Amino acid sequence: MKKLKTIMKNNKLIFLSVLLYAITFFVAPQVFFKSVEMTKGFLIQMVEIMPPIFIISSLIMVWIPVGVITKAFGKDSGFKGKLLSVLVGGFSAGPVYAAFPVAQALFYKGASVANTVIIISSWAVIKIVMFMVESNFLGITFASTRYALTIPIIIIMGYVMEKLVSREEVLKEISNTKVVYKSDKDVLRELPNMNCGACGYKSCKDFAQGVMRGEVVIDDCVIRQRAKKTQPTLKEDYQEK
């Protein structure tokens, strides 16, 4: 019973959705079946889109040094970083929920709060493909005007978000979220997989097994700790490793 309560607490949204579906089934069966059909469509779309997104996110975590991300998207990247963030979001493909794994990977490796917000917002509303479709249906003048007004607002929103929410607050909230790992493979997905040995283990796989045995916690990973601090001096350290 206690285990069930824990599962329900950790998956409140899922249980609430199931409850609402159950109520809808009895109150309005036609709406229920239409909702199930729409949900099925969304799930199929996610299965088609998310695997490549997860691969891209993993490659960002493994292949791209922190120094590169910090220089391009970090707090000191300036207005150039903001424009680059707009381009990253603008040249993206897929629905907006696909932006979050990529944004998380960039954020973990040093992207600022402002640039993370800009990437997600650009992904949602100013994609290049969207511009082409919008121009076709509503005209080039309408599309160009909307983009000319939208891009500055997105950049301003990024600046405002960074003033209201610090990077440390975001990382603290993420780290306070209790994650239960079922296997060392689950832990390994959260690690940089650089096999630097700074944690005292020979590889990230050995470290992940140590987490499962209770010898260490995932935040004992030295690279994760340094990435959270996003110090500019890390550039040389990561390039050497």
Model pLDDT for residues 72-93, shown as the tens digit of each residue: 999 889 999 999 999 999 998 7
Tokens coding 38: 């729409």
Residue 232: predicted pLDDT: 41
Rounded distance between C-alpha atoms, residue 229 and residue 234, angstroms: 9
Domains and CATH numbers, the chain: 12-51 (no CATH), 64-171 (no CATH), 179-240 (1.10.15.40)
Round to whole Å and give the CA distance between 58 and 18: 31
pLDDT score recorded for residue 241: 39
Give every residue of the chain whose pLDDT is below 70, as ranges: 1-4, 6, 10, 175-180, 227-241
- Give CA separation, 214 vs 45, 158, 181, 211, in Å: 38, 39, 11, 5
Q: Which token pair is 226? A: 């340094």
Sole residue written with tokens 């993206």: 92
Are the CB atoms for 159 and 113 separated by under 8 Å? no
Using CA atoms, how far apart are residues 234 and 66, in angstroms rounded to an integer?
7
d(CA 226, CA 108): 10
C-alpha span between 65 and 79 (Å, rounded)? 21
Nearest CA to 216 among 172, 167, 189, 181?
181
| Segment (H or E) for 171 | helix 167-176
Q: Which residue has the tokens 């709406």?
A: 31
Q: Supply the pLDDT for residue 171.
A: 77
Alpha carbon separation from 143 to 84, 140, 149 (Å, rounded) = 21, 5, 10
Within 10 angstroms of residue 131's Cβ, the number of other Cβ atoms is 16
